[in-house]
Amino acid sequence: MSASHHVRYPRFDGRQALVLAPATESLAPFAVHVPEAALDDLRMRLELVRWPERETVNDWSQGVPLACAQALIDYWARDYDWRKLESRINRFPQFRTRIDDVGIHFIHATSPHPQALPIILTHGWPGSIVEFLDVIDRLTDPTKFGGRAEDAFHVVVPSIPGFGFSDKPREQGWNTQRIARAWTVLMRDRLGYKRWVAQGGDWGSAITHALASQRPDGLVAAHVNLPLVAPEVRPKRPSEEEQRALQSIDLFLDHKAGYADEMNTRPQTIGYALNDSPLALAMWIYEKFGEWTDNEGRPEDALTRDQMLDDISLYWFTGTGATSARLYWESCSGKTIREHTFFSSARASSERIELPMAASISPRENYIAPRAWAEAAWPNLFYWHELDRGGHFAAFEQPELFATELSQAFRAFRGKPAAQ
């Protein structure tokens, strides 16, 4: 991992997405650089957008309002600066390595504090490594932010296969369980950590649940901000807390699951639009920032336009609209949300996990499980905190709070140097 090693830049092949150099089992240093031709291509496409008519309602009930869409696209075309994001990502050491025949991209930011605890942070959809950029420094060197050296972490942030600068799988089978096994290889075999913890939200939560269920050597605890826990069948006489959880499930299934059903069942079809049209990709993701963040009616209340476009642009330049959607098909067996059923899928993600588990839940999370459901699924639940602010994108929306939660949650697992 010497700085003198050759850094492999992605290349841009005409109108195709970035083409990544083949990865090997060694750790190849990596830096992000999108050629100017790709930026020009994006600007051209944004100038040639064909707009639909205005919605017939005065809210977001039919999707992103036309005025909001036009404002975001105009900013993307004229004012957004991708190079700033490149510089922010490239501040951190990055690598690619081949695991199970797929090249995995990851940030590996080590702490200056010798007692630091290694942690792997996993994003979801429509998230990316961008979600964690503002928490890495807080975790690796908390003393710079008024924290304690004893709470430091060595931070590993991988891109899920099919997302970002990881390879796009060319065969079936890359579900959450397989990704979890790849993360074990990354942490234990490639990076040499003997003792480590895991964290995730959204699909990152499902992958972290899978890791906890597999309980590989070295993994000592896990934390999620979306506890995927539920009883095997719907309670007939729910408590007040259970009733709130059931109502949130029903609201999601009845009114908010259309995007998931499309990606669960036809990721390739929606992928054509997401890979070819920056407008389609942006609205597909921007809508989720509108629905899933802790905002007062506009996603810009929770995230800046630059933050949202950083994430959207990463999907665009890597051409991962279709391959990221395919994670839904792989992990939900090609079924709709109702066919898969919430209870069976949540239960399968967390059935009797013996590994010590922790959770920090934001008030605007899509689904807030009752603590009793978590205690039933996780007999070694050691930390549970329902927060007073934040939404689905915990680290993205509230980086300071997110870092504080991880520091507090994992204090019980400190005390030994992280062998590497």
pLDDT tens per residue across span 257-287: 999 999 999 999 999 999 999 999 999 999 9
Among 28-32, 121-125, 152-156, 246-250, name the one with the lowest average pLDDT: 246-250
Domain span at residue 112 reads 85-236+349-410
- Give domain status of residue 67, yes or no: no
Residue 8 has what pLDDT?
A: 57
> pLDDT of 185-194, one tens digit each?
999 999 999 9
Helices marked H in 238-297 — which ranges? 240-251, 258-265, 267-276, 278-292
**17: pLDDT strictly greater than 50:** yes
For residue 187 the two structure tokens come to 């942490």
**In the predicted model, is pLDDT for residue 50 greater than 80?**
yes
418 — pLDDT class (breaks 50, 70, 90): very low
Residue 30 in contact with residue 7, Cβ under 8 Å? yes
Overall average pLDDT of the 218-222 stretch: 99
Rounded to the nearest integer, the mean pLDDT of the chain is 93
Cα–Cα distance list, 101 to 23, 170, 266 (Å): 9, 10, 25
Assigned domain for 340 exists: no
Task: Say if CB 193 and CB 155 are below 8 A apart.
Answer: no
Mean pLDDT throughout 408-412? 97
8 Å CB contact between 313 and 80:
yes
pLDDT digit string, tens, across residues 305-319: 999 999 999 999 999
Average pLDDT rounded to a whole number, residues 87-93: 99
- Any idea what the CATH number is for the domain that residue 112 is in? 3.40.50.1820
Predicted confidence (pLDDT) per residue in 32-44, tens digit: 999 999 999 999 9
The secondary element (H helix, E strand) that includes residue 12 is strand 11-12
Question: Which pLDDT does position 2 carry in this prediction?
Answer: 44
Q: Residues 134, 399: contact at Cβ < 8 Å?
A: yes
- Confirm whether 295 is domain-assigned: no
pLDDT the model gives residue 340: 56
Q: Is residue 400 situated within a structural domain?
A: yes
Q: Which of 193, 315, 328, 383 is catalytic?
A: 328
Minimal CA–CA distance to 89: which of 130, 119, 48? 130
Whole-number Cα distances in Å, 288 to 80, 234, 251, 296, 389:
20, 27, 15, 14, 18
Based on the residue annotation, tell me whether 202 is a catalytic residue of this protein.
yes
> Which member of 141, 151, 202, 311 is catalytic?
202
Above pLDDT 90, what percent of the chain? Answer: 84
Confidence (pLDDT) at 1: 46
Nearest to 340 by CA among 275, 276, 264: 264
Query: Distance (Å, rounded) from C-alpha 251 to C-alpha 377?
Result: 24
Is the residue at 298 inside a domain? Answer: no
The per-residue pLDDT for range 323-376, each reduced to its tens digit, is 999 999 999 876 666 665 555 445 545 478 999 999 999 999 999 999 999 999
pLDDT, greater one: 416 or 202? 202
Is 398's pLDDT higher than 90? yes
Whether residue 20 lies inside any domain: the answer is no
**Is residue 296 a part of any domain in this protein?**
no
Strand stretches in 333-408, DSSP E: 357-361, 381-386
The structure's pTM equals 0.93
Which element (helix H / strand E) includes 176?
A: helix 176-184
pLDDT of residue 242 exceeding 90, the answer is yes
Structurally, how many domains does the chain consist of?
Answer: 1
Q: Which residue has the tokens 């100038």?
A: 47
| 282 touches 313 (CB < 8 A) | no
pLDDT winner (highest mean) among 4-13, 123-132, 365-374: 123-132
Q: Is residue 147 part of a domain?
A: yes
